[in-house]
Structures are given as structure tokens and as C-alpha cells.
A and B are shown apart, each in its own frame.
Chain A
Amino acid sequence: MLELENITKVYKAGQTEVPALRGISCRIESGEMVSIIGPSGSGKSTLMNIIGCLDKPTSGKYRLEGVEVDKLNDDQLAEIRNKKIGFVFQSFNLLSRTTALANVELPLIYGGASNRRQRALQVLESVGLAHRVTHRPSELAGGEQQRVAIARALVNNPSLILADEPTGNLDTRTSQEIMSIFKKLNEQGMTIVLVTHEPDIAAYTRRTIKLRDGQIEASE
């Protein structure tokens, strides 16, 4: 469902060109749970941004469910992000003055969906937050905030969940809770890509892609 073919990404810093990715090719099948690991500077954030359609590759082909994403313009990419990809970030990135419910509704607003409230309540319940829907992020614990973010990622029924260090700001016990949610989602058929530098977290996934210096070092 996701196919990268010889992807490169070069950043320009003034006169000098800094290559971040040097020819990444890989496939991720529907229903897989994959972790991308690597030291900082290995290009995992860049790869994640390209998979998440937040950034375009300098060269190479990227197909997401048969759509050649590298040929789309900004508005079309926004549409893909809205409909097909759910993001979970290390720092949660919730709107601080807004309730959990309104945070989860956000992607639905940009998708122009109706029945938003009902759908948002449904996913909040599925991550175990039915009792906290009117709370603001500041009134929630870290684990709860990340669950709101997961609910937000799920609300548009995406094809892919993309999680960037989802447990980076959480303690061990909460991390385990969050990972078990991802595990459960994957068992229900959701494709999940995790970016992490913690081997413990990568251990939850069946397949790990190791990056080093912008290239795939190992995929097992």
C-alpha cells in the first residue's frame, strides 16, 4: 500500500547542499506495523515527513495506495494528509485552549464531514477517554493527552498511522499503555509506522527499518 522508490532528499543550506536521504527504497504492506529507527541525523524525521506527505522528495517515486504522491501540489497533499494519514507526535500537539472533543473534531472540520460530534465521541471512547471529552489538554495527564492525539489521528479512518516518537514524553508505564493501543489498532488491521530511537519501543513491531546516513542499513 506504500511504496518508496529511490527517494532522495537534499536540503540547501546557503551554497552547500546537505543530503538527508540518499536513495531509500522500501514497501510497507497494508496491515503492517513497522518501526523506523536510527541515530539522530540518520534521516528518519525526513523520511517520516515524506511518508506523511508533509514534505516532497527531491527525486524518486512515492506511491500511497496507488496514488503518485510526489506529483501532487500542496492542496492535494493537504487532502491526502486529512483523509489517509493520522499523525501522532512526541509532544502531542493538541490545541491548548480547546476541549479533547474539539481537538478530535479538528480533522473532520477540514474534511468537511458531517456528524462530527458523534464520530469524535466514538473514537474517544475507543481509546478509553469517554469520561474526559470536555477536558482541556492542561487538565489531562500526559498519557491521556496522547490518547486524545491518537483519537484525532483515527477520526478520519486513515489508511496509515504515522507516530513520531509517540512515547518520548511519557514514563515507562504510560508508554506501555500507549504501545498497547497501537498494538490493538494494528491487530484490527491498521497500518502503523513508528519512528523511534528506543529499542524497547521498536520491539513492539514485527519489522524494523534501520537508517544510517540517509540510507537503509537493515530491514528485518
Chain B
Amino acid sequence: MKLWDCFSTALRALLSNKLRSILTMLGILIGVAAVISVLSLGSAQAAIVEESFATLGSNLIYVTPPELGMSGVGAQTTLTLEDAQAIAQNAPSVRNVAPMAQTYAQVVAGGESLSNTIIAGVTSKAQVVDNYGMAQGSFITDFDYGARSRVAVLGSEVANTLFGEMDPTGQSVRIGGRQFQVSGVLESRGTGFGFEDMRVYIPLSTFYTTLATAQVGSRGDSVNMISVQAKSGDLVESAEQEITDILRVRHGLREGEDDDFRVLNMASVAAQVTQVLGILQLVLAGIAGISLLVGGIGIMNIMLVSVTERIREIGLRKAVGAKRRDILIQFLIEAATLSFCGGALGVGLGWIIVKIMSVIATNLGFTLSVTLPGYAIVLAVGVAIFIGLISGLYPAVRAARLDPIESLRHE
């Protein structure tokens, strides 16, 4: 029997029971669509995370109180301005140190007001260390710090809410009831880390004289976070060690006592996050893969039913000269065709799902740049065909082994 005849015989058998063929395909279709959308959304998410880390300054280390993460607002802080100065002076692997104190206050300008806005007291170093770009005007300068100027730099979201399209530079705002002059506006950071877009920055010295009293547990020179930039990527780890040593000595911690602060190396955080996302994606793809497996079982089930239903047909085919191989190949091709078509349609459906998700994400304000990785298509369709062949094998072998006499007698 020629191969083409095997195909046309198998296709004819599938077409003669269209509804069943379609329902059988559905199992594989859904499985492949799930795998495709998980892989595709996963790679889009990985791209977002990578981009977010890229917006942060390079070689960054954050020093925070032990119980809180990056924002640290309102925490009982153990860090002081002197800690920051000690790190700057005594840690040889460190290039820049940017202490930051934070509190909440109401910000008013013109008729608009924002309650509970994060007010951050910073030095000029913050711009370098945290990699702030300026949309308008200039950042807090050393002069501002020295003179305790009443100047403020607005996050883009804050500027937009208070001033709309107008350039806020030179305008005055009231922060916690006190008059400040806007010296600049930060570039938007988008949806990445932190809340830079929703913050207001003022000189740290001014912060202590005007707003610090509002902070719980304040000592007058405490800071919520110290951002440290190491001299190079290679020196990040030694900088981490130096900071820990300096702070332990300054805080009078004995050996065996826990740190009363936390040192976070952003590079290792990035690596950890990437790793966790990778694992998460694998788990999701695994769960999606299970539905592929279920689809395969569906194919096996239907093929077994089909063999039983067509026993007489198989007997007749054998009587008129079909060899075992011919019957085996016919049923294998039927199973493979079901799973291949299911797989191909599944790629299409998966792609549609991913596109819809990206449109929804765009409406929610994210940019989700989805791509359909070529390896995902090949993998999903390949696995689908493989599962089809495996599930088809047993029913096909059963069909091929049927005894022609008994099959012809079968009612």
C-alpha cells in the first residue's frame, strides 16, 4: 500500500465522523494553546523585569532597616545620617552614598492637593546613585543642602496631578503646610520599581528642620534608607561586606548578635527574581502540559472506541488484502492527524489569547510586548504529534492484530 493511500484512507475515516474528530482535537488544542500562551506571556514578563532592573542605577546596594524593604516609610529606623557618612568615608569599595529620609505629607499647589504623598529628603548624590533623569529643571544641589533651601523636585505623576500640562519649575507648592519652590521634575520611570513618579524630593537638611517632627521615632538625623553605589560590579560584594562591618561597629553589635539593618545587593535581587520567575514559568508550563497529556488520553480513548466500532471494517480490509502494517499505519495516521491539527489550531488559539492579554495589559497601562517564540511553536506541535502517536499506538496495534475471521463475524 502506498503512503499516499494510507493518508487518504485515514483522512477519509476522520472526515466521516467530523464531530467526533473535532471534539477529540479539542483536548490537544486547549493543551497546546495553554502551553503557548504561558510560554509567550512568560517571556514577555521576563522582558519587563529585565527592563525594570535596567532603569535602576548600576552596582546598587540598598541599606534599610531590617523589617522593611525598599520604601521604608514609617518604619522604626535604626539608620542615621552619620551611618551614611561613615560608609562614604570608610568603605574603600564605595563610590557614592545617598541617604534618604521619608515621611508622608500633604502637597498643595494652586487648587489641587495630594494627601499622603511620600516626601523624601535626599542629597545631591541621590540623582547619581538612583539614576534619576530630569524632565524639567534641576535636581537638589549641594548648595540647596547646605543652605537648607525650601526647594522641591516632583515625581512626574505628582507634577502631572498638581500642574497638568503647565511647567511647574519655579512655581510654589505647600508641603505639610510649608512653602517650597519647585526646582525640577523627574522623568517618568513607568511601572517598574518603587514609586519615584509619585514622590516629592526635598533637601535632606530641609527635611530635618521642617518635616522630621512628623516622623515616628525620629532622632532628628535618622534616615530610612541609604543607597550605595559600589565602584564597580566586581566590588559590589566587598562593598556589601564593608558596609555590614562598619554598621555593626557603629551600632555596637556584638558577635553573634543579629544585624539591626539589612543590606540588599540589587544585582543578586535581580538574579533571584529572574530565577523565581523562571521556576514559576516552568511550573505553569508543566500544568499546561498536563492538559496536553489529558488531550492525549482523549485521543487514545477515542481511537480505542473507533477500533472497536470498526472491527468489521478492519476484518474486511484484511480479507481483501490489507496487511497488519497497513492497518497499523492507517490508525497511527488518524491519531497523528488529530493531534497535529489540534496542535496547529492550538498555536493559533494560544496566539489569540496572548494578543488579547496584551491588549488588556495596554488598557491597564502596561506595555506587554509579546512575541511567539519559534521554539515554543515547534515544541508544542512536536509534543502534540508525539503524544498523538503514543496514544494512537496501542489502539493501532490492537486493530492490526485483530483476527480477520472473528472480525468479520463481529456484530
Known: A54-B405, A55-B405, A89-B408. A107 touches B321 (CB 8 A): yes
User: Could you tell me the distance in whole angstroms from the C-beta of A171 to the nearest C-beta in chain B?
Assistant: 22
A152 to B312, CA, bound (A): 16
* Stretch in contact with the other chain, from B175-183, B223-231, B322-330: B322-330
Check B2 for interface membership: any CB of A closer than 8 A. yes
- Complex Cα distance A89/B312, Å? 12
B276 part of interface (Cβ distance < 8 Å): no
Is the CB–CB distance between A106 and B1 below 8 Å?
no
Residue of B nearest to A83 (CB): B321
Q: Is the beta-carbon distance between A93 and B408 smaller than 8 angstroms?
A: yes
**Complex CA distance for A112 and B12, rounded to whole angstroms:** 18
Among the listed A52, A54, A89, A110, which residue makes an inter-chain contact with B326, where contact means beta carbons less than 8 Å apart? Answer: A110
Which residue on chain B has the smallest CB distance to residue A162? B319
Q: Which of A75, A89, A109, A112 has the most CB of B within 10 A?
A: A109
What residues on A are CB-neighbors of B5 within 8 Å?
109
Partner of B1, one of A54, A95, A110: A110
A98 at the interface (CB under 8 A from B): yes
Q: In the complex, which residues of chain B have a beta carbon less than 8 angstroms from the beta carbon of A49?
A: 405
- How far is A83 from B320 in the complex, measured between Cα atoms in Å? 9
Interface centre among B1, B9, B322 (most CB of A within 10 A): B322
A81 and B322 alpha carbons, distance in the complex (Å): 9
Complex Cα spacing A95 to B408, Å: 12
Question: Are B405 and A110 in contact, CB atoms less than 8 angstroms apart?
Answer: no
Chain A residues with a Cβ closer than 8 Å to the other chain, count: 25
Q: Is the CB of A97 within 8 A of B16?
A: yes
User: Which of A75, A79, A81, A112 is close to B2, meaning CB atoms less than 8 Å apart?
Assistant: A112
Whether, in the assembled complex, B382 has its beta carbon less than 8 Å from a beta carbon of chain A, the answer is no
Known A-B contacts A54-B405, A89-B408, A112-B1; the reply to A78 vs B316 at CB < 8 A is no
Asked if B318 is an interface residue, CB under 8 A from chain A, the answer is yes
Establish whether residues A78 and B323, one from each chain, have CB atoms under 8 Å apart when the complex forms: yes
Residue A87 lies at the interface, judged by CB distance under 8 Å to chain B: yes
- Whether A74 is near chain B, meaning CB under 8 Å from some CB there, is yes
B404 within 8 A of partner (CB): yes
A93 to B313 alpha-carbon distance, docked (Å): 8
Whether B324 pairs with A107 at a CB distance below 8 angstroms is no
- B317 CB within 8 Å of chain A: yes
Query: From residue A123, how far is it (CB to closest CB) to chain B in Å?
Result: 14
Report the bound CA distance from A80 to B325 in whole Å: 16
Q: Is the CB of A78 within 8 A of B321?
A: yes
Nearest-neighbor residue (CB-CB) of A105 within chain B: B5
- B290-319: CB near A (< 8 Å → 1, else 0) gives 000000000000000000000011011111
Instruction: Select which of A52, A55, A93 is within 8 A of B312 by beta carbon.
Output: A93
Q: Given A54-B404, A89-B408, A109-B5, is A152 in contact with B320 using a C-beta cutoff of 8 Å? A: yes
Judge whether B408 and A109 touch: CB under 8 Å. Answer: no
Cβ-defined contact, B324 with A74, below 8 A: yes
**Which residues of chain B are within 8 angstroms of A79 by Cβ–Cβ distance?**
321, 323
- CB of A199 within 8 Å of the partner chain: no
Return the chain B residue nearest A76 by Cβ. B323
Contacts of A112 in B (CB 8 A): 1-2
Question: B404, A75: Cβ atoms under 8 Å?
Answer: no
- A121, chain B: closest CB distance, angstroms: 18
A196 within 8 A of B: no
Do A54 and B16 touch across chains, with their CB atoms under 8 A apart?
Answer: no
Chain B window 385-410, contacts with chain A (Cβ cutoff 8 Å), 1 for yes, 0 for no = 00000000000000000001100100
What separation, in Å, do the CA atoms of A33 and B323 have in the docked complex? 29
Of all chain A residues, the one with the shortest Cβ separation from B310 is: A95
| A82 at interface, CB cutoff 8 A | yes
Contact B316 A109 (CB under 8 A): no
Kindly list chain A residues whose C-beta atoms are within 8 Å of the C-beta of B326.
110
Whether the Cβ atoms of A95 and B316 lie closer than 8 Å is yes
> 1/0 per residue A116-154: CB within 8 Å of B?
000000000000000000000000000000000000100
Q: How far is the CB of B321 from chain A (nearest CB, A)?
A: 2
Q: Which residue of chain B lies nearest to A48 when distances are taken between CB atoms in the complex?
A: B405
A192 CB to closest chain B CB, in angstroms?
Answer: 17
Smallest CB–CB gap between B201 and chain A, Å? 78
How many angstroms between the C-alpha atoms of A87 and B320 in the bound complex? 8
- Enumerate A6-41 residues with CB–CB distance to B below 8 Å: none
Q: Does A189 contact B (CB under 8 A)?
A: no
Map CB proximity to A onto B325-355 as digits: 1 under 8 Å, 0 otherwise.
Answer: 1100000000000000000000000000000
Name the A residues within 8 Å of B9 (CB-CB): 109
Task: Name the distance in Å between B310's Cβ and chain A's nearest Cβ.
Answer: 9
Among A81, A107, A110, max chain B CB count under 10 A is at A110
Known: A78-B318, A81-B318, A81-B319; 7 extra A-B contacts, CB below 8 A, are A79-B321, A81-B321, A87-B319, A87-B320, A93-B408, A97-B16, A110-B323
Question: Can you spell out 12 A-B residue pairs with CB atoms less than 8 angstroms apart?
Answer: A54-B405, A74-B324, A78-B318, A81-B319, A82-B321, A83-B321, A93-B319, A93-B408, A109-B1, A110-B320, A110-B326, A112-B2
